[in-house]
Amino acid sequence: MEEKPVINILLVEDHALTRMGLKAAFRRTSDICVIGEAANGEEAIEKARELSPNVILMDVGMPVMDGIQASRHIVAEFPHMKIVMLTQHDNDSDILASLAAGASGYCLKDVEPERLYTAVRSVNAGDAWLDSTIASRVLRHYSMPAAMAPASSDAAVSVAAPEPVAAAPFEDVTDRPAPDALSVRELEVLKLIVDGMSNQEIADKLTISLATAKTHVRNILNKLAVDDRTQAAVHAMRRRLV
C-alpha cells in the first residue's frame, strides 16, 4: 500500500505542557509530524521561514504577538502555508478575525484528537475546516441582514475590508445568479459540508468511495460557482439550499 505523504506541522502555543500534549497526540499518527515549536507570534513567523511547515497550529492569545497578527503576516508572506487556529477562545470577534487573517481552520482545544487530525489533513488538502459549533456561528453571522450585523467590532471591519484573503470566503452571494440545480445526492453532500464534515467523513456517512465524495464536492463547487467548501456552506445557508 502506498504511504501517505507526511504533513509537517509547526506548533505555536505559549504553554509548554500543551505543546508536549499535542506532540504526544500527533505521535499516534503516521502521516503528521511536528517539525518545530514556537511560544509566540514572532517566533512563529521566524520558524515558518526557517522550517516551511505545511500546516501551522496557532494559538490565539499569546504574549509578544498574538496568533491573529502572526497569521496575517505568515499568510501574506507564505500563502501556500495553511493555518489552523487551536484555542480556547470561542468569541465571535476572535473567530471572525482569525478567518479574516487567513486561517483555514478553527478548532477549540477540547477537540477530540481524531477530529484534530482530520482538521490538519483537511486544510493541508486545500479544504477549510471549522469546529462544528464554530461553523454554525460563522454561518449564522454571515446569514444576518447587514443592518443586524455588528457595526463597530474590529472583526467585522476586517472581514469587510477589500483584502483577498479576508473577503474571498465570505463574499455576499445573494446577488449572484441562481445556482445550477443540485441533485438529491449533491444536496445530501452539501448538508454534510455545512455540518463541517471532511470528504472522508462524507464518504463514510453516505457509504460511498472517497473518490465519489470528492467528485460530488467538486460538482457542487462548480454548480454554485464558488472556490471552496466554506464559500459553498455560506452560499447554501444564504440561499436556504439545506
- Per-residue pLDDT tens over the stretch 199-212: 888 999 999 999 99
Do 193 and 107 share a domain, yes or no? no
Q: Residue 166's pLDDT band (boundaries 50, 70, 90)? A: very low
Specify which residues 28 forms β-bridges with: none
Do 120 and 217 share a domain, yes or no? no
* CATH number of residue 213's parent domain: 1.10.10.10
Q: What's the pLDDT tens digit per position in 94-147?
A: 887 888 888 988 998 888 999 999 999 989 988 888 877 777 667 666 554 443
In a domain, 157, yes or no: no
Helix (H/G/I), strand (E/B), else coil: 103: coil
When divided into structural domains, the chain yields a total of 2
- Residue length, the chain? 242
The pLDDT, as a whole number, for residue 52 is 96
Residue type, 5: P
Environment class of residue 114 by beta-carbon count within 10 Å: exposed (0-12), middle (13-18) or buried (19+)? exposed
State the DSSP code for 3.
Answer: P
Dig out the grid coordinates for 193 from the structure: 459540508
Cα separation, 156 vs 42, in Å, equals: 25
pTM above 0.75, yes or no: no
Within 10 angstroms of residue 29's Cβ, the number of other Cβ atoms is 17
Residue type, 96: L
More confident residue, 231 or 165: 231
Domain of residue 220: give its range.
171-242
Cα separation, 32 vs 55, in Å, equals: 10
Do 19 and 68 share a domain, yes or no? yes
Return the residue matching grid coordinates 500534549.
21
Q: Residue 226's pLDDT band (boundaries 50, 70, 90)? A: confident
Q: What's the pLDDT tens digit per position in 10-68?
A: 999 999 999 999 999 999 999 999 999 999 999 999 999 999 999 999 999 898 999 99
Helix (H/G/I), strand (E/B), else coil: 238: helix
Do 178 and 104 share a domain, yes or no? no
Specify which residues 130 forms β-bridges with: 106
